[in-house]
Amino acid sequence: MDAMQLQTLLTWFAVALITLGVGGAALIGLREARVGARRRARLSGATMATGGSGGGSAALAGVVSGVKRLGDRMAIQDPAQLSTIRAKLIQAGWFSRESVAVYLGAKAVALLLATIATIFTVPWAISGAGGMGAILAAGTFAIAAIMGPDQVIKARRRKLELEYMDGFPDLLDLLVASVEAGLSLDAAVTRVGEELSRRYVHLGEHLRFLTLELRAGRSRRDAWTSFAERLGIDDARALATMLRQSEEMGTSLGDTLTVFSEDMRAKRMLRAEEKAMSLPAKLMVPLILFIFPCLMGVLILPAAYRISQTLMAN
């Protein structure tokens, strides 16, 4: 068997595997759709439609329901990491109950796509034309499938953490103003959440969740600790610790918030000064690589041209 026949055989084998996988997934989806439609029809006391747009919508709803149940089953298989994954997704700004199932489903789809792409690189590697390129492509697909969803979550978490750190001094200033105006801490949180949502949307959502927890009867200590864990920044943890100590020791809440707010404003000013001081060092690389060669060209090329003209004239 020569190389061409082996390449053709592997290609057809890969196509057969892909067709088998897609067909199996389609059969499972159709079966889940039929079971879901029958269950809904039995619970509603109606007869399931056998054609038309109603049947199509019922089948689509069944497929969506089957996908969600599949994601729930994947999440239940590893209950030890369920709370950790949910905490990471909440810190990244996804609060839905189905977010864990969607995350696990995205990882499974990424691995499936990477496997399919790697199978298609096998004939390229066997033919001898790919060589190291085929191996690098397969490795890239594998790394993207394994680390891609986690990197997306980390990038979104970093973006939201910057928003939280920028908005936290404003949050404390509004809390101080509300408490000094005569509002209780719980009422001040509700008011601040309404005002802060206009500029910092995600921080306002976290404050709304904090308000709902307090209204549901959760203790203030646990509610603020949960709020700090959802934000995932040190300033929120320090605020939760400060409120707990203030409640235990019986100190004035307004004075405590005022001191903490001044500290947050000082930290924000220090961060701004740090960025301003690091700007010259960051500009050094583009200055040397791009601006300095252009400047040298503008200054030296006219003189070099005149010297060359003078030498040629002589």
DSSP sequence for 84-127: HHHHHHHHTT---TTHHHHHHHHHHHHHHHHHHHHHHHHHHHHT
Asked if the model's pLDDT at residue 272 lies above 70, the reply is: yes
Question: pLDDT higher for 41 or 139?
Answer: 139
Q: What is the pLDDT of residue 9?
A: 60
Q: What is the pLDDT of residue 46?
A: 40
Q: How confident is the model at residue 12 (pLDDT cuts 50, 70, 90)?
A: low
Lowest mean pLDDT among 42-51, 141-150, 305-314: 42-51
Answer for the pair 176, 264: CB distance below 8 angstroms, yes or no: no
- CA distances from residue 303 to 124, 160, 309 in whole angstroms, order as listed: 55, 53, 10
Lowest mean pLDDT among 57-66, 80-89, 235-244: 57-66
- Mean per-residue pLDDT for 44-66? 48
CB atoms within 10 A of CB 174: 18
Q: What is the pLDDT of residue 240?
A: 85
Lowest mean pLDDT among 8-22, 186-200, 210-224, 280-294: 8-22
Q: What is the pLDDT of residue 47?
A: 36
Asked if the model's pLDDT at residue 15 lies above 80, the reply is: no
Q: What is the pLDDT of residue 49?
A: 38
Query: Which residue ranges make up each domain of the chain?
Result: 1-45+55-77, 160-269
Asked if the model's pLDDT at residue 72 lies above 60, the reply is: no
- Helix (H), strand (E) at residue 146: helix 132-180
Q: What is the pLDDT of residue 141?
A: 75
- Helix (H), strand (E) at residue 75: helix 52-76
Nearest-angstrom CA–CA distance, 146 and 210? 34
Tokens of 76: 């239940």
Q: How confident is the model at residue 3 (pLDDT cuts 50, 70, 90)?
A: low
Q: Which of 250, 246, 247, 273 is nearest to 259 (CA)?
A: 246
Q: What's the chain's average pLDDT? A: 74
Nearest-angstrom CA–CA distance, 300 and 103? 58
Q: How confident is the model at residue 197 (pLDDT cuts 50, 70, 90)?
A: confident
Each residue's pLDDT tens digit, 104-138: 777 777 777 777 777 777 666 666 665 666 677 77
**93 torsion bin: left (phi>0), alpha (psi -120 to 50), beta (else):** left
